[in-house]
Structure 1
Amino acid sequence: MGAENKPWLKHYPKQIPESIEYPDISIAQLLIDTAKDFPNHEAIIFMGKRLTFQQLLDQVYSFANALKRLGVKPGERVSIMLPNCPQAVVAYYASLMIGAIVVQTNPLYMERELEHQLNDSDAETIICLDLVLPKVLNVKEKTKLQRVIVTGIADVLPFPKNWLYKLKLMKDGMKVEIPTGPEFYSMKQLIAEEVPTPLKPVYHSKDDVALLQYTGGTTGLSKGAMLTHRNLISNTYQITAWTYKAKRGQEKVLGVLPFFHVYGLTTLMHFAIHLASTMILVPRFDATMILKEIEKHRPTYFPGAPTMYIGLINHPDIGRYDLSSIEACLSGSAPLPVEVQEAFEKLSGGKLIEGYGLTETSPVTHANLIYDRVKHSTIGLPLPDTECRIVNPDTGEEVSVGEAGELQIRGPQVMKGYWKRPEETKAVLKDGWLNTGDIGKMDEDGYFYILDRKKDVIIAGGYNIYPREVEEVLYEHPAIQEAVVVGVPHEYRGETVKAYIVLKEGQKLTEKEVEKYCREKLAAYKIPRIVEFRKELPKSNVGKILRRVLREEAVREFKKKKAN
C-alpha cells in the first residue's frame, strides 16, 4: 500500500514517524531496561505501598526463579487471575521472563467461564487472588491445573493497613485460607524464599506467543487471540510515538483499566514500564476513589473507557476536586460521545481523545491526534505502520472514499491467530489483513469512522440504521447520562429501534419527550420506537455497555409475547 493510499500520513505532525524500528526483544526486556536506567524511580503506588523499578524487578526475578523451581517450563500457559495490584505486574513479567505464555483471566469470571478458559488454554498454573480461590477450587479437578499460587491484597499493604484489611475481611466473612498440600503455594512466601538472581528472558523469536487474550468475538465461547512479543512490543512503541510529549521517567499513569484486558495491559502497563512512568494502581473503578487518587497523586495520563469519564463528570462533588494534572486521556472500548469529551476536557484542562482497537490487534490501531487536530465522532488516524481499508463485506473489494463497508487492518500489532482454532483464524485473517467485523468508512483526509459492528446494524423496514448515530443524538440531551440503542424484533419492520436510557440524578424524561427530541434531529426511520429507562446498564469489566445482553433480553421478551 503506497503513500497515495494512506491519506492519513499527511496529517501526522512531524514528531510522529510514518514507520518505526521495533526491537526484536521479549516484553520482559522492557522492565529490565527501565530498571537499569531508573532503578530508584517509583514504578508503582498502590494503597500506600510504593515500589521502585529496581524493587519491582527484584520481585520479578525472585518469582521467576520460584516458578522455574516449581517446574513451569517455557511455552506452558500460566493463568493470572488478579485485579490491578503489584502482584499482577510481578506475575506477568515473571511468567514472560521464563518463557511461559500468560493467560489473562478476569477475576469476575463465573466457574463456567473459568473452566472453559483453563481447559481451552491447557493452563497448568494459576496465580489468583485469595477471594476467588473458592471458584478455582471448584473447577480445579476438571482442568489440568497442577499449581495454584495464591496472593491477597493484604500481602502488599504496609502496616497497619494490611492488618486492618485482614480484620475487615474476617468481619465480612470473606477471609479465605489457602489449603495445605503440594499443589498450593503462597506467592508472598515464594518471593520471600527466593534470591532475586537476574535472569535473561527466555526468548527465541518475535513470533513467540507471549499472551493468550480471550475474546468473545462474534461467535459462541471465547477464544484465545495469540499475541506475540512482536505484536505487544510494536503496539507499545506505536502508542509511545503517538504520545510524543510524554517524557521518560517523568510521567504518572492512572491505572484503573484492568490488566486482564489487553487495552489496560498495553496502554497502561506496557506504556508505563517502557516510559519509566509511575503507575498509580486502582483495583476497581469507583468514581470517588478515582477523584481522590487524581488529586493526591497527580497523574498526567489516564487511559480509560467512556463510562469512566461519564461517571466522573456526573459525580455530585466533581467541583471539589483538582484534575488539572491530567494532560492526556485515550478513550477506547466503546464510542466516546462528543459531549463527554468536551465536558471532561473542560474539567481537567487535558486532552481526551478517542481511539480504536481490538483484542486481535494488541489492541490499538487508530487514535485521534493528542496534541493536534481532532475530528469529533471519528476514531482518528491509523497508527504508524498500520494499513487500513474499507471493503465491501460481500465481495471483499475496496470501496470508494466515504462509502460504508467492513474495516480491514494489517500491521505488526495484528495477532498470530486464534489458539487451537485454525478455521476461525482463516476466516478472519487473509494475507495479513484482519477482518474486524466493524462497519466503517474513511473520509478524504484519512480519518476513520466506526458506524457499527456488522452484527449491530439495525435493518428496519429495509433501512440500515447505525446505533452509534442515534446514541450520539441521545447523549446530547441534557437529562441523559447513558444511552444505548439496539435492534429488537418487530413483526412488521423485521427490527425496530429500542433505546435504553439512564437519566442523570434528579432528572425526569418521558418516552414521548425522547421521541419528540429525536424527531428534530433524526430521519423518521431512525427514531427509537421503544424507550426503556433504567437505573444502570449492563457493562463489561472495562466499562463497555453490553449491547448484546440487552438485545438477548429483548429477543426473549418478544418470543414470550408471541408464545402467549
Structure 2
Amino acid sequence: MDLETYLADLRARQERVRPADTPREVAYPLGEVVLPAHVEHWARTDPRRPAIVFGDDTLTYADLDDAHRRLAGWMHRHGVGAGDRVAVYLGNSPQFVVAFLAILRLGAVHVPVNPMFQPAELAYEINDSTPRVIVTSTALSATVDRARDRIGDVPLLLVDGPEWGEALAVEPYDGRADDLDALAALNYTGGTTGLPKGCQHTQRHMVYTAASAAGAAGYEPGAGYVSLCYLPIFWIAGEDLGILLPIVLGGTVVLMPRWDATAVLESIERHGVKVVVGTVENYLELLDHPQMPERDLSSLSDPQAVSFIRKLTPEVRARWAEAVPGSVLRESSYGMTETHTIDCVPYGFAADDHDLRAEPVFCGVPVPGTDIAVVSFETAEPLPIGEVGEIIVRSPSVTTGYWNNPEATAAQLRDGWIHTGDNGRFDEEGCLHYLGRAKEMIKVKGMSVFPAEIEMMLAQHPAVDSAAVVPTDDPDTGQRPVAFVTVREPVDAATLTTWARENMAGYKVPVVSVIDAFPMTATGKIRKNELAEAAREAVAVR
C-alpha cells in the first residue's frame, strides 16, 4: 500500500473516534502571526488581563508587551540582530518569558539552557550555539565563570542585577520580525544517551503547536484559559505549557519555580487553574496532602500526567476522580523535541479507562494537521494495522533540522517526515500505541519484547512503585529483559519473578532487581543507559 492511501485509511478511522468537542482542522485564534504579535493584540484588547502570575507578582499583558519591547531595545543596542543566538540560562521566572519574547521580536534565535547544567554541559551547548549574549542570574553566573576557559568572553545580562533595570528603562523597540519561517529557537534534545542536538524550530512551529494542542484538548481562547506550570520552561514541554499556549490563547500562566504541593493546591483554588501537567508522583502527593480535602479544585478540568517513573493506572485515576469530582486525570501527549512534543493526545478516551486498559502505551489520535504513520524500519514502507514498526511524524511543527549536524538531519528527517526511532503500532480505531525506543527493543529467542509493556505489567503488582526495563545479552536466549524495580512495600526479587511468570508470557519474564532509586536525567527521565552494566551483572548472577 502506498503511503497516501495508507494515510487516507488511517484518517478515516481516526475521524470516527475523534472526540466530538474537538475540531478537525487547526483553528488559530488570531491567525498565523508571530508570538510578539499575539502579546500586542492581547495588550491592546485587554491590557489588564494577567499574562503571568509568579508568586505574589503579576504581569499583565500590557506589562509583558512593554517589558519585552524594552528588552528588545536593549539587545538591539548591544548588537543582537536577526539570526543571532541568545542563550537564556535561567530557571522558571517572568524574566525568562520576557527574554524569550524580546529575542523573537528581533528575529534572533532563542537558545534555552538547562539551569541545572554544570560547566562541561554548559560549555558544550554554548560552544555549539555560539550566542551573542547569555541571559542569566547572579547565582548561575558562577557556573558560567567556571566554564570561561572553554566558552570565552561571552557577555552576560543578569536578570537580578542593575543592568536588568537599565535594560527595561530603554526606549521600547517597535520593530517586529514577522517571518514565521525564520529560525527562532534551538531546543536541545534531552535524551538519555548521546550528546544533545539543537533542534531548529521556527515561530510557525510554535504557533501551530499551541493552536493544534488547544484544539485537540477543547481549549477556548480568552481569559478562561489558566494553566499552572512548574515544568521547567527551558524544556520544550514546559515552553508549550508555560509560554506558548497561554500567549496564543490570550490566557494566564501561573508560573512556579519548582514543584511545591502546598503552593500548587493554593494556586489552583486562588487563580481558577484549568490545566496542570505533572508526574504521577506529583498527583499522588496532592492526593495525600492534608489540605487536599479543604481546597476547591473544581476549576481543574484538564489535569494531565506524564508517566516517567510511576505509571498512571485506573486506580490512581479513580482516587483523583473521588477527590476532585468531574476532573479526569489523563496522560498528556506523545511527542518529542523534534516535533515540539504535542503530536498525539489521548483526550476523550477515558471512558471505562479505555486509554489505560489498552495495550501499552495508548496515545490516542494525532492533533489536527499532523500525520503519523508506522513503517518498516528497513524499507520505510507503511505497515498494516496492528503490526509494530517505526513511528514517523509529519506536521507543521517538525524541526527543519539539527543545528550544525547535517548527518543527523539526513538520517532522521526524510521527505518531510521525522523518523522517531520509536516502536509503535495502530489499533483498529486508528489510535497510536507507543512501545518504546527501537534501540530498547529486546529480542528473546527471536521474539520481540517491548520494555514499556513489561513496565506497565509490573506496575500492576501492589508492591511495585515503578519499573524500568532494559535489555542485556544472554547466552541462552540472545537477549534478556532486566527489570529494575523500586517498591512501596517490602518485596523481594524472587517474589516478583514468580508473579511475572504467572502474569506474562514466558519469554517476557524479566530478571528482576529491586533497587532504591533510579539514575535520572535533569528533565526527570530514567537514564536507562546507566542501568546497562547493572543489567549485565544481574543476568550473570542469575
Q: Same fold (TM over 0.5)?
A: yes
1:517 equivalent among 499, 507, 529: 499
Distance 1:320 1:475 in 2: 31
Distance 2:390 2:191 in 1: 15
Distance 2:55 2:197 in 1: 34
2:323 equivalent among 343, 347, 370: 347
Contact 1:305 1:543 (C-alpha < 8 Å) held by counterparts: no
For 2:401, the equivalent position in structure 1 comes to 417
Q: Which runs of structure 2 are paired with 1:330-409 in the superposition (5 Å)?
A: 330-332=304-306, 334=308, 336-339=311-314, 340-349=316-325, 350-354=327-331, 355-370=333-348, 375-376=355-356, 377-409=361-393
Structure 1 residues 160-195: Cα deviation after superposition (integer angstroms, max 9, x where no partner): xxxxxxxxxxxxxxxxxx7xxxxxx7323321x323
2:15 equivalent among 6, 9, 25: 9
Structure 1 residues 307-335: Cα deviation after superposition (integer angstroms, max 9, x where no partner): 43344445577556554331103334748
For 1:190, the equivalent position in structure 2 comes to 167
For 2:472, the equivalent position in structure 1 comes to 488
Indicate the SS of the match to 2:320. Answer: helix
Distance 2:533 2:319 in 1: 33
Shift of 1:69: 1.2
For 1:150, the equivalent position in structure 2 comes to 158
Indicate the SS of the match to 1:464. Answer: strand
In the alignment, structure 1 residue 20 sits paired with structure 2 residue 26: yes
Indicate the SS of the match to 1:356. Answer: coil
Contact 2:10 2:430 (C-alpha < 8 Å) held by counterparts: no
Indicate the SS of the match to 2:422. Answer: strand
For 2:521, the equivalent position in structure 1 comes to 540
Note closer, same or farther for the CA distance 1:462–1:316 as it changes in structure 2 (3 Å cut): farther
Distance 1:73 1:272 in 2: 26
Distance 1:544 1:103 in 2: 21
1:77 equivalent among 85, 89, 92: 85
Distance 2:86 2:307 in 1: 26
Aligned residues: 524
Note closer, same or farther for the CA distance 1:372–1:476 as it changes in structure 2 (3 Å cut): closer
Superposition RMSD in Å: 2.6
For 1:465, the equivalent position in structure 2 comes to 449
Paired amino acid for 2:531: L
In the alignment, structure 1 residue 202 sits paired with structure 2 residue 183: no
Distance 1:492 1:513 in 2: 23
Distance 1:540 1:76 in 2: 29
Note closer, same or farther for the CA distance 1:262–1:187 as it changes in structure 2 (3 Å cut): same
Contact 2:487 2:514 (C-alpha < 8 Å) held by counterparts: no
Distance 2:473 2:287 in 1: 35
In the alignment, structure 1 residue 291 sits paired with structure 2 residue 273: no
Note closer, same or farther for the CA distance 1:311–1:547 as it changes in structure 2 (3 Å cut): farther
For 1:248, the equivalent position in structure 2 comes to 222
Shift of 1:79: 0.6
For 1:272, the equivalent position in structure 2 comes to 246
Between 492-501 and 64-73, the greater mean CA deviation after superposition: 492-501
Paired amino acid for 2:9: E
Paired amino acid for 2:36: A
Between 385-394 and 243-252, the greater mean CA deviation after superposition: 243-252
Paired amino acid for 2:15: L
Structure 1 residues 497-554: Cα deviation after superposition (integer angstroms, max 9, x where no partner): 22222333xx2222222223222321122222222231x3233344333323323554
Between 206-215 and 298-307, the greater mean CA deviation after superposition: 298-307
Distance 2:150 2:45 in 1: 45
For 2:146, the equivalent position in structure 1 comes to 138
Paired amino acid for 2:188: Y
Structure 1 residues 427-472: Cα deviation after superposition (integer angstroms, max 9, x where no partner): 1111101101100000111100001110111223433211111111
Paired amino acid for 1:83: G
For 2:118, the equivalent position in structure 1 comes to 110
Shift of 1:360: 0.3
In the alignment, structure 1 residue 476 sits paired with structure 2 residue 460: yes
Contact 1:85 1:281 (C-alpha < 8 Å) held by counterparts: yes
In the alignment, structure 1 residue 499 sits paired with structure 2 residue 483: yes
Shift of 1:80: 0.6
Note closer, same or farther for the CA distance 1:461–1:3 as it changes in structure 2 (3 Å cut): closer
Shift of 1:109: 0.9
For 1:300, the equivalent position in structure 2 comes to 274
For 1:435, the equivalent position in structure 2 comes to 419
Distance 1:517 1:328 in 2: 35
Unaligned runs of 5+ in 1: 153-177, 179-184
Contact 2:474 2:539 (C-alpha < 8 Å) held by counterparts: no
For 1:124, the equivalent position in structure 2 comes to 132
In the alignment, structure 1 residue 508 sits paired with structure 2 residue 482: no
Note closer, same or farther for the CA distance 1:250–1:316 as it changes in structure 2 (3 Å cut): closer
Unaligned runs of 5+ in 2: none
Indicate the SS of the match to 1:423. Answer: helix
Shift of 1:487: 1.9
For 1:160, the equivalent position in structure 2 comes to none
Shift of 1:288: 4.0
Contact 1:215 1:223 (C-alpha < 8 Å) held by counterparts: yes
Paired amino acid for 1:194: V
Distance 2:410 2:322 in 1: 46
Note closer, same or farther for the CA distance 1:466–1:319 as it changes in structure 2 (3 Å cut): farther
Distance 1:548 1:318 in 2: 38
Distance 1:145 1:274 in 2: 36
In the alignment, structure 1 residue 88 sits paired with structure 2 residue 96: yes
State the percentage of identical aligned residues. Answer: 30
Distance 2:313 2:296 in 1: 22
For 1:43, the equivalent position in structure 2 comes to 51
Distance 2:473 2:297 in 1: 44
Note closer, same or farther for the CA distance 1:542–1:246 as it changes in structure 2 (3 Å cut): farther
Note closer, same or farther for the CA distance 1:372–1:484 as it changes in structure 2 (3 Å cut): closer
Contact 1:414 1:434 (C-alpha < 8 Å) held by counterparts: yes
In the alignment, structure 1 residue 551 sits paired with structure 2 residue 528: no
Distance 2:199 2:530 in 1: 23
Indicate the SS of the match to 1:516. Answer: helix
Note closer, same or farther for the CA distance 1:391–1:101 as it changes in structure 2 (3 Å cut): same
Distance 1:73 1:145 in 2: 19
Q: Which runs of structure 2 are paired with 1:61-76 in the superposition (5 Å)?
A: 61-76=69-84
Shift of 1:198: 5.2
Between 541-550 and 419-428, the greater mean CA deviation after superposition: 541-550
Note closer, same or farther for the CA distance 1:25–1:246 as it changes in structure 2 (3 Å cut): closer
Distance 2:226 2:366 in 1: 26
Structure 1 residues 277-312: Cα deviation after superposition (integer angstroms, max 9, x where no partner): 221111112334433433444411102344433444
Shift of 1:104: 0.9
